[in-house]
Amino acid sequence: MNFQDLIKQGIPTELPQKKEYDLTINHAPKRKEILSDDEKKLALRNALRYFDAKHHPILLEEFKEELEKYGRIYMYRFRPEYKMYARPIEEYPGNSTQAKSIMLMIQNNLDYAVAQHPHELITYGGNGAVFQNWAQYLLTMQYLSEMTDEQTLVMYSGHPMGLFPSNINAPRVVVTNGMMIPNYSKPDDWEKFNALGVSQYGQMTAGSYMYIGPQGIVHGTTITVLNGGRKIAKNGEDLAGKLFVTSGLGGMSGAQPKAGNIAGCITVCAEVNEKAVHTRHSQGWVDEVISDLDELVNRVKKAKENKEIVSIAFLGNIVSIWEKFDKENVYVDLGSDQTSLHNPWAGGYYPVSISFEEANEMMAKNPDKFKELVQESLRRQATAINNHTAKGTYFFDYGNAFLLEASRAGADVMADNNIDFKYPSYVQDIMGPMCFDYGFGPFRWVCASGKPEDLAKTDEIACAVLEEIKKHSPIEIQQQLADNIRWIKGAQENRLVVGSQARILYADAEGRIKIAEAFNQAIEKGIIGPVVLGRDHHDVSGTDSPYRETSNIYDGSRFTADMAIHNVIGDSFRGATWVSIHNGGGVGWGEVINGGFGMFLDGSKEASKRLKSMLFWDVNNGIARRSWARNEEAVFAIKRAMEVEPLLKVTLPNLVDDSLL
């Protein structure tokens, strides 16, 4: 069968050959054993319901072995033989072009060049899954190939519940991931219900099919490092010769060295997984690899002396770097951490006291001891960071729950009031007041034709739109526009594409609508092919996350999730092609609710109406909430939005005199 026939086939009626476990690619670590014997039987029963009863005797033994060896049932036998990547949209079978665009995005998320653990259907973050198993993938792709524009596919945590009658203006797909009853959102609950095959961790853009490789976080990291540099700058100096120390080269965190190069500093990024280091180095995302601490110290001193722009991967543990640089008096200007501490006990963070291989074995066989070593390592890391900040280092939490888990480990990271952390989240200090409150967030698009020349044309279109907007914009948002014009002009030369022909930039509602409308007009004229719009959930309005996206909300509502829920509901009836809502994201299961969307542009008048309605809401919902929290920049932004759109009328806060209180 050809590719289209294989997609339309879904789950094959005859069993394909059993596949060997491929040791050449990066695999998810074994998950800890958490199910009782009765629950293991339930997990097997749940897995076998995808298959004809005649296959159950063979598959039962196989799935039992997977559950015992890996802690999950992935159904490796059913992994497709065809290459996994985002094909040009016309190569997908189907009755709905919108559905074809979703198939393209799903395959992009599972592309070997994009996905962190592709055979386990995990895109990034250690556990950010597109599906729980390969049967779900096969069935979903089959449904998408069959559906019409009068149907909606319903997705329950990776499981395609089925096609339901709807209408052409409804979303083609509605996705939920990990939406647990609140009392069942502890980390071990994820382990249990994921092992049972009834829930999954969709991260942010993994389970919503909108991940575009590390480029997405490169842009956000570039903006963060640039603005972090501005916070410590004296007399308008840039980042030349300044040192940024961080960690993590797997998944999204692999973007850090590239962002450091674009921002113009020296970046040292630690990573314990040799395969991840090799991948980023071979992709050109990091310049040099060093595994000896003394060699690293000498190399950094030389780079500082020559004011080089260079990124260095250290193959080893981040704790070793912080301690060595402290001992050798290597001054760190900017510091952070991007290890996946939302997932600390299952491969998100590796303790300094044992090897990578020992850790992978211990986390499954002796999870209590592993947790003890992780917390010991976190305490050591925090102590070393405190030593550096005492010398003047500006350290910020990158929203990956580093400070949260360090505090739970008893590390010295709390402020004097014993409520707040002594270091800010990057959203509190940088992205919140400088970007989110003004409505600027990670707008992204994918050229469904798969043609690099289409991407180049969209870059030109977006740049021209931003430059025109900048001519008439208030002083408050001139810097944001200038940073993004600089970004888009350097996008081609920085070789940011991994997987699909995609791009990201930060834009407000005006910028997103005008760029999208310009794309739609270019599609109508035949200048470019169709385009898929989306964004990271890490945005103005898509995510309620008290330690990250909404950490600069100070009216007591940062632990509520009304905004994210309203965001996805509002997007769904304003024209989104697909919508998603997740429990869990970059800060952990039970710590965040986040929503996203995808929108297909085909050059039609209907697409033009949809994009204007949906994108305006998608941004201003969040600005309104931030304004009500008394964020000064958001009050300015929502007043400006009301001037533009007479149908918008938002409740504004009255400020209380502090002396009165």
Binding annotation: 125-126, 203, 271, 398, 586
Task: Spell out the residues 6+ positions from residue 407 whose beta carbon is closer than 8 angstroms to its own.
Answer: 413, 414, 421
Residue carrying structure tokens 């033989």: 81
DSSP 379-429: HHHHHHHHHHHTTT-EE-B-SSSHHHHHHHTT-S-B-TTSSSBSS-BHIII
What values do phi and psi take at 456, rounded to 5? -60, -40
Residue carrying structure tokens 């997984």: 273
- Binding-site members for NAD(+) are 125-126, 203, 271, 398, 586
User: How many Å apart are CA 584 and CA 596, to the nearest integer?
Assistant: 13
Residue carrying structure tokens 């590796």: 350
User: How many Å apart are CA 388 and CA 329, to the nearest integer?
Assistant: 9
User: How many Å apart are CA 296 and CA 287, to the nearest integer?
Assistant: 13
Contact 179, 203 (CB under 8 A): no
Backbone CA torsion sign across 481, 486, 489, 495: negative
Torsion of Cα atoms, 127 then 21 then 373 then 415, to 10°: -20
User: How many Å apart are CA 568 and CA 382, to the nearest integer?
Assistant: 37
User: How many Å apart are CA 370 and CA 360, to the nearest integer?
Assistant: 9
Closest CA to 277 of 310, 312, 308, 320: 312
C-alpha distances (whole Å) from 626 to each of 421, 504, 567, 614 are: 22, 23, 14, 19
DSSP H or E stretch at residue 513: helix 509-524
Give the distance, in angstroms, between the CA of residue 504 and the centroid of all CA atoms in the same chain.
Answer: 13
Contact 343, 126 (CB under 8 A): yes
Beta strands across the sheet bearing 266-271: 288-290, 310-315, 266-271, 243-247, 334-335, 394-395
Which ranges of 441-508 does DSSP label H, i.e. alpha helix?
A: 452-471, 478-489
Q: Where are the beta strands (DSSP E) in 72-158?
A: 122-124, 128-129, 151-156
User: How many Å apart are CA 641 and CA 635, to the nearest integer?
Assistant: 10
User: How many Å apart are CA 380 and CA 413, to the nearest integer?
Assistant: 11
Query: Phi/psi zone of residue 235: left (φ > 0), alpha (ψ -120 to 50 degrees), beta?
Result: left
What values do phi and psi take at 268, rounded to 5? -115, 120
Number of C-beta neighbours around residue 250 at 10 A: 26
Number of C-beta neighbours around residue 437 at 10 A: 25
User: How many Å apart are CA 545 and CA 558, to the nearest integer?
Assistant: 7
User: How many Å apart are CA 190 and CA 202, to the nearest integer?
Assistant: 11
Name the 3-class secondary structure at 634.
Answer: helix
